[in-house]
Each structure stands twice: as C-alpha cells, then as structure tokens.
Amino acid sequence: MHLSAPPVRPAAGLRGTWLLRMLLRQLSRGSLRVVLPSGAWIEHRAGADGPQAVLLLHRSRALRRLLTGGDLGFAQAYLDGDWSSPDPVALIGLAAANSAALEARFSGLAPLRLWRRLRHRRRDNTPRGSRRNIAFHYDLGNAFYRLWLDESMTYSAARALPPGGSLEAAQRDKRARVIELLHLEPGASVLEIGCGWGALACDMAGQGARVTGITLSREQLAWAREAAGPAPIELRLQDYRAVVGRFERIVSIEMIEAVGAAYWPAYFAMLGRSLAPGGRIVLQAITIREDRFESYRRRPDFIQTCIFPGGMLPTATIIAAQAQAAGLRVVECETFGAGYADTLAAWRERFEASLDAVRALGLPERFIRMWRYYLCYCEAGFRDGVIDVGLYVMEAGR
C-alpha cells in the first residue's frame, strides 16, 4: 500500500496511523516499507535516491516512543522488541540520510531531552568518572569480547577489509601502518594511551621499542599482561592525566572518544608535554561530520546513553585546533570510514554466529539486542559518512 492509497483500516492492527504517515512524510531520500502487526504494509518512496529499508512493527508503542523520545526512544523500543528489521543498517542509514527533517519533527519531549543532557553531564570524565565509564564498557569481560573480535583482540577499525580477506590480516595491516607512521626505531621509548588488550604494544615491542601502555580497564590490563609475557612492556592501570616523563613516540588508538569535550584541552596538553623533542604522535580518532556536531553535542545519542557513557566525538577541525593550542600540529591524516563500516560488519557477523556462547555467559536477550543495534548503528553512521575515522600524525609545532 502506497501513501496515495486509502488509509490503513483499524483492522490492520495499528493505532495512531497518523504518526506513521507523519513519519513517512519526512523522508525525502530513499524508501521505507512499514509492515504492521497485522501483516498489512504501507510504503513511501522518496524522490531522491537513498537507502531502501523495511521496518517491522511489532507493537504500536514503537511510534509513540519515537514521538516522545526521538531517535533514542526509537532505539530503546528496538531493545524492548517493539520493532525489528531484516536490515537494521539500511533502516538506520535511511534515518541518517533524512536526519534534518526527522530531528525537526521527532526530537522528543523537551523534559526528556533536558533529563538526558543532565544525565550525560553526571557521567563526566573526571579521574573517578573515567574509571567508572571505562569499566561500564570494557570490563564486560574478556570472555565476551573474545567471542567476536579477531585473535589479537583489536577493538578498533581496520583500514580496509578486502572481499575474502580475513579480519586478522586486516588488523595486522592497520597496526603495521600505525607503526610505519610513528617512524618507530629500535630502542625508542613509546607511550600507548589506552592500550586495550595489548596487540599494538606487543607489535611495537617486537620491533625493539621500549613500550609503556596505560589503561583504565582492569580486564584489559590482565589480558594485555598475559599477552605481553616476557616482552619489555610496562603496562599500568593509570589515567592519562597522571602520566609523567617524556617519550619519543606516543600512540593512542580510539581513546580520544572517551575523553569528553571538557577534557580535550587537558588531553592534548598532556600529549604536548609528554612528547620528547623531535618525537611523533599517532592518534586513531573517530570524528563526527562538522555540520552534525552541534546537534550531536546538544542531544546525547544512543551510543553515549547505552554503550559509552561520557563519550564525545570530536570533529577533524577540533582535533587540529586542540593540537595547535597544545603546541602540536597535524602533519598527516589518513581517513578510512569505509574500512570501519566493513570492520563493524565483520564483528556483527561473528557476534551473531556466537549467540549461543553469548547466552551461555548469562547475558540477557535485551543486551543482545542492544549490542546488535550498537554494531548496526555505528556501521550505518560510517557508511552514510556521518562519522569517520582516521590516523592523525602530529609533531611539535613550528
């Protein structure tokens, strides 16, 4: 049934069809077919190209939650089983392609938006808050992450994942490129901020570097220490603000996203004072598109609310400005958003193949839906270009 057809009858099993029609009228790109609880369907095809998506409504309250809670309310409706989709990436991508109109009409009730902003601020990344926020995500347990990450436990984007290529090979290639950009030399002192499960630290030590890695995750630290074995790597449970001394090389892979906007100056100041003369820094950073930053800053999204409390993505312009304020300059940048989309798709495939093992860990179905939505949400963002990822090479400013 297209929009030009007669209205859906109440027998179709959906109350408040006006909400559905209001939703469809906001779409200027792509197409959306909505299948109602009765099995009847309604479809809208926009004039401009865009994602082609299908929404399966299981409960009519999904639309009410979109109206009152905006995109976050709609995400939470998915977690509660109110709707599903045969291709959530396409559906979320359709929303991203029509974001301006959808946000204007479905931004949620003002009191709810205010409450979410206040809640997000309570998750501030003070030294104590950072430990709590990092534990919320990374201390879910190594047994969980090892089910769907590659063998090296690399939890960041590969630069590219060629058809038929393995995730393991793609992650090795990315780590090798980071080392290449660092201009790493045997004997060089290296600080890794947010060392994760230790794969990059081990690779750098294997090339003769003297590596110090810091993390706030106890689970990651335990794994990394075991992975390092007798290698000359010093691994610490330490906040970046507590770092002392200077290092010839500094590397930080997808850690800036957990710093928080209020602490970006402190983070870059630490980079500046910790870099030895003639040294190099490589940051792998996820960024948000410049024209989306203000809306994103005002409205905590699904990731900030459910996955990474206290998180905040910078823009590429913010990275350059913060670096300059700390006496640094960006001398090279490589972006590879498509590589992250493919990495996320590979993680999701592995996650779905491991659901029996995930359930055996005692993780509930709502958690499984949340993690699936998280992986789809991020993949859609990278495919649409709302977010990007890059390797930013920095040196002392001149």
pLDDT truncated to tens, each residue of the chain (398 aa)? 333 333 333 334 445 577 788 788 888 889 999 999 888 888 889 878 889 999 999 998 888 888 888 888 899 999 999 999 999 999 999 998 888 777 765 654 444 555 555 565 666 788 888 888 888 888 889 999 999 999 999 999 999 998 888 999 999 999 999 999 999 999 999 999 999 999 999 999 999 999 999 999 999 999 999 999 888 899 999 999 999 999 999 999 999 999 999 999 999 999 999 999 999 999 999 999 999 999 888 888 889 888 988 899 999 999 999 999 999 999 999 999 999 999 999 999 999 999 999 999 999 999 999 999 999 999 999 999 999 999 999 999 76
Q: How many CB atoms lie within 10 A of CB 254?
A: 17
Start-to-end CA span in the chain (Å): 64
Q: Provide CB contacts within 8 A for 147, sequence distance 6+.
A: 350, 351, 354, 357, 358
Q: Tell me the DSSP string of 146-206.
A: TTTS-TT---S--S---TT--HHHHHHHHHHHHHHHHT--TT-EEEEES-TTSHHHHHHHH
Token code pair at residue 105? 């009409």
Longest C-alpha distance within the chain, in Å? Answer: 75
* pLDDT value of position 177: 98
Any catalytic annotation for residue 195?
A: no
| Chain centroid to CA 286 | 7
Q: How far is CA 82 from CA 7, 15, 270, 294, in A?
A: 22, 14, 46, 30
Q: Which amino acid is at 62?
A: A
DSSP letter at 96 equals: H
Cα–Cα nearest to 264, from 290, 283, 237, 245: 283
Please identify which residue in the block is written with the tokens 């998280």: 374
DSSP class per residue in 238-270: --GGG--S-EEEEEEES-GGGT-GGGHHHHHHH
CA-to-CA distance for 24 and 2, rounded, in angstroms? 11
CB count in 10 Å sphere of residue 155: 20
The pLDDT assigned to 21 comes to: 80
Whole-angstrom distance, CA of residue 163 vs CA of residue 342? 10
**Structure token pair of residue 339:** 């590589």
State the pLDDT at residue 117.
57
Give, for 366, the enclosing helix (H) or strand (E).
helix 365-384
Give the CA dihedral 383, 385, 387, 393, nearest 10 degrees. 110
Cβ-proximal residues to 300 (8 Å cutoff; 6+ apart), any chain? 72, 116, 117, 119, 120
For residues 45-75, b (16+ Cβ closer than 10 Å) or e, as one string? ebeeebbebbbbbebbbbbbbbbebbbbbbb
User: CB count, 10 Å around CB of 39?
Assistant: 8
Ordered structural domains, the chain, with CATH: 16-123 (no CATH), 143-396 (3.40.50.150)
